[in-house]
Structure 1
Amino acid sequence: MSILEALILGVVQGITEFLPISSTAHIVIASLLLNLRFPGLVMEIFLHLASVLAVIIYFRHDLAQIIKGFFAYIRYRNPHDKVSFIFSLYIILATIITGVLGVVLTDFIDESLKTPPVIAFSLVVTGSLLIFIERFHRFGDKNEATMGLKDTFIVALGQTLAVIPGISRSGSTLVAALWTGLNRETAVRFSFLLAIPVILGSTVLMVKDLEPGLVAEIGLFPLFIAFVASFIFSIIGIIWLIDFLEKSRLIYFAVYCYVLAAFVYFFLDRSLIIDL
């Protein structure tokens, strides 16, 4: 793999991973349009690890507060730490639900579904969900202290939809969180923090399927370039999305999803089965 190919894949993965527009769809499109060879699990692992590292660093203070509060409440039962403790349990519970359902549903995601028409349809679904939550649903005011188990379960179900090719994980999770009545700040925070264990878990599962020699075949330097690019642009994507949601509306992402869906459906080979 060339340095330029690794750089392109890293940039595309990083900038789209946390935006509600499906990073999978963009990686596929970039690979097809530029005739890039996407080298399977090795590159995917490096790209995902870079994105997770970006979330961890950006939300490091939130993570430190949650982890500290979790253990402090277990030890001292201080009411001040109860919110962090409960919020930690919600993240763990949502991760378990997503993991179990994801493993089950993955067995039903047949290779024949991994085609441009399916990805195009999934992008339309993502866009429609964003429009629904923006235009036809009243935003709530729940936060970490007032959300409950039902909210957690619904968000976990939303996140599970991302096993379908072309469905945005961040988009479906964010829509589910807003639909339960979480305010925007809490919905975004919950979505990003959930990404850490979910992406790490899926990455760990990929490692066992690695074939010996793939790292050497791709080259350590291209992998390093892809990792750095994905990390930098993941940080940019996180900052930009949070700032965007404070000032603008999700409907713009919906329009983008529709345009991209039309491009995928009408201009990519419909008979192509994509190795995701």
Structure 2
Amino acid sequence: MSIIEAIIFGIVQGLTEFLPISSTAHIIILQWLFGTDFEGLTFEIILHVASVLAVLLFFRHDVIAIIRGFLRFLFQKDTRERASFFFGLYLIVATAITGVLGLILEDYAEAFLKTPLVIGGALLLTGVFLLIIENIHYRYTRSVNEMNMLDAIVVGLGQTLAVIPGISRSGSTLITALALGIERRTAVRFSFLLAIPVIAGSSLLTIGDIFQGGFAEGNVVALIVAFVVTLIFSVIGIKWLIQWLEKSKLYYFAIYCFAIGFVVIFFLDPAAV
């Protein structure tokens, strides 16, 4: 892999990981276009670790507050930290559901779902749900203090759909939370914070690949460049999406998903590139 390719992969991973347009689909599409086949999982792990680090940096104050509040409520019975405790508990429950179901479905997804028809169709489906959620005529009024265990379970189930390439992890959690009536700010915060244990967990499960000769699959310099670029553009993507959702609608992401989905289905043949 060249340095230029590493930069492009880093930019795409960083921007698409947290936008509701599926980073997995975009990375697969880039592989097809560049004729690149990652042997092992080292490169994907590097990209995901960079994305997780970006979330931790951006939401470091939230993460510290939730962990501190969770422990104070649990061990010191500090009722002032009740909201932090339950928010942390909901993150744990949603993560557990996604983790268990993801492990069950992962092999199937790897074997059968990375095709233009499936990825393009999943992008179209993501676009449809983005349109639907913007046309639900009720206010998203439930705050973080009004979330409950059912919300965590449903969001966890929704996030599991992201095992299908083309179904966005951030999009599925955001859409599910909004459909449950959770206010946008809380839905976005829950979606981003949920990325930390989910992406970190999936990376840890496969990190052994790095220590089994995984670095042999590419230039170490290219891997470092991809990591740094992904980190920078992940932070940009997080900040941009938060600002976007405060002022604009999800329609534009839906249009983008439709456009890319049709291109993948009708014009992209991996065997021909």
Coarse TM-score class (shorter-chain normalised): over 0.9
Q: TM-score, normalised by structure 1?
A: 0.94
Residue 178 (structure 1) aligns with:
178
Matches of 1:228 and 1:210, distance apart in 2:
18
**Residue matched to 1:34:** 34
Does residue 201 in structure 1 map to residue 201 in structure 2?
yes
1:60-112 alpha-carbon deviations (Å, 9 max, x no partner): 01111111111111232122111101111110111101111111222443623
Number of matched pairs = 272
Write the deviation string for residues 31-71 of structure 1: whole angstroms up to 9, x where unpaired.
Answer: 22233444440000000000000000000011111111111
Determine the C-alpha separation between the residues in 2 that align with 1:271 and 1:138: 46
Q: Which residue of 2 aligns with 1:128?
A: 128
The CA RMSD measured in Å over matched residues stands at 1.6
| Letter matched to residue 223 of structure 2 | L
- Between the aligned partners of 2:110 and 2:228, the Cα distance in structure 1 is 33
Partner of 1:8 in structure 2? Answer: 8
Cross-structure match for 2:257:
257
In structure 2, what is the Cα distance between the partners aligned to 1:233 and 1:192?
Answer: 15
> C-alpha displacement at 1:247, in angstroms?
0.4
**Cα separation, 1, equivalents of 2:270 and 2:213:** 33
Tell me how far apart the structure 2 counterparts of residues 87 and 123 of structure 1 sit (CA, whole Å). Answer: 30
- The answer to whether the 8 A contact 2:127-2:258 is kept is yes
Q: Which is worse superposed, 26-35 or 218-227?
A: 26-35
Distance 1:101 1:129, change over 3 A: same
- The superposition leaves residues 196-241 of structure 1 with CA deviations (integer Å, 9 ceiling, x where unpaired) of 0000111011123457323144132111100000000000000000
Deviation per residue, 1:135-160 (Å, 9 max, x gap):
13523211221100111111101100
Q: Is the 8 A contact 1:49 1:200 kept in 2?
A: yes
Aligned twin of 2:244: 244
Would the aligned equivalents of 1:130 and 1:251 in 2 still touch at CA under 8 Å? Answer: yes
Q: Which residue of 2 aligns with 1:163?
A: 163
Q: Tell me the residue number matched to 1:269.
A: 269
SS at match of 1:208: helix
Equivalent residue runs for 1:139-150 within 5 Å: 139-150=139-150
Distance of 1:94 and 1:215 partners within structure 2: 33
The answer as to whether partners of 1:50 and 1:230 remain within 8 angstroms in 2 is yes
Compared with structure 1, are the counterparts of its residues 198 and 246 closer, same or farther at alpha carbon in structure 2 (3 Å cutoff)?
same
Kindly tell me: are residues 216 and 34 of structure 1, through their superposed partners in 2, closer, same or farther at Cα, counting changes over 3 Å? closer
Question: What residue number does 2:187 align with?
Answer: 187
CA contact (8 A) 1:5 1:36 kept: no
Following superposition of structure 1 onto structure 2, how do residues 35-54 of structure 1 map, counting pairs within 5 Å?
Answer: 35-54=35-54
Higher helix share: 2
For structure 2, list consecutive stretches of 5 or more residues without a partner in the other structure: none
* Contact kept in structure 2, 1:21 and 1:257, CA below 8 Å: yes
Q: Would the alpha carbon gap of residues 214 and 133 (structure 1) be closer, same or farther in structure 2, given more than 3 Å must change?
A: same
CA distance in 2, matches of 1:260, 1:137: 28
**1:119 match:** 119
* Comparing 63-72 and 42-51, the one that deviates more: 63-72
Partner SS for 1:109: helix
SS state at 1:9 partner? helix
Give the structure 1 partner of residue 58 of structure 2: 58
2:247 counterpart of 1:229: no
Structure 2 Cα separation of the partners of residues 138 and 39 of structure 1: 48
Task: Return the letter of the residue paired with 2:113.
Answer: L
Q: Which runs of 4+ in 1 moved over 3 A?
A: 34-40, 208-211
Comparing 150-159 and 35-44, the one that deviates more: 35-44
In structure 2, give the amino acid aligned to 1:252.
Y
Q: Amino acid of the residue matched to residue 242 of structure 1?
A: I
